[in-house]
Amino acid sequence: MQTVMREAELAAFLEREFPQVKDDFAIERLTGDGIVVRLKVAERHLRPGGTVSGPSIFALADVVVYLAILARLGPVALAVTTNGGIDFLRKPVAGTDLIGEGRLLKIGRVLAVGDVLIRSDGMEDPVARASMTYSIPPNR
């Protein structure tokens, strides 16, 4: 797939358009069909018992697919999630960041579909698997 926005441009977009979460995520690298993004786990991401909360894991999956779409289409700020599903597979390793590796399965005129594997940093076995669908606004 053709890349329109590189890592630094995506990071600048995230900082400008979503300042409330810009410090939570770091773009690791673009791949041939997607992107790898780190959730910098902090105390605010934890649930009782010290594990990363489900909403934080879901947010990582959502951001991964959103940024993968932007990398291919350019700064389409109004692309929105229309469907998301997640399977929580195992407890994240305590004290480590989460790494979301996403790939775009399809980018159409109106919809984009991607999937994400989320792992604890340095671990092979996934913590979660997510599938996300985005609506792409007309006249982008």
Q: What is the mean pLDDT of residues 28-54?
A: 94
Q: Is residue 2 part of a domain?
A: no
Does a structural domain hold residue 1? no
Rounded to whole angstroms, the Cα distance separating 34 from 96 reads 23
Convert the pLDDT of each residue in 105-127 to its tens digit.
999 999 999 999 999 999 999 99
In this prediction, residue 140 carries a pLDDT of 56
Q: Is residue 111 part of a domain?
A: yes
Task: Give Rg (Cα) of the chain.
Answer: 14
| Cβ-contact 36, 101 below 8 angstroms | yes
pTM of the model: 0.94
Boundaries of domain holding 105: 7-135
CATH code of the domain covering residue 38:
3.10.129.10
Q: To the nearest 10°, report the CA torsion of 131, 82, 112, 87.
A: 0
Contact 116, 102 (CB under 8 A): yes
- The number of folded domains in the chain is 1
Please give the structure tokens belonging to residue 69: 């779409």
140 assigned to some structural domain: no
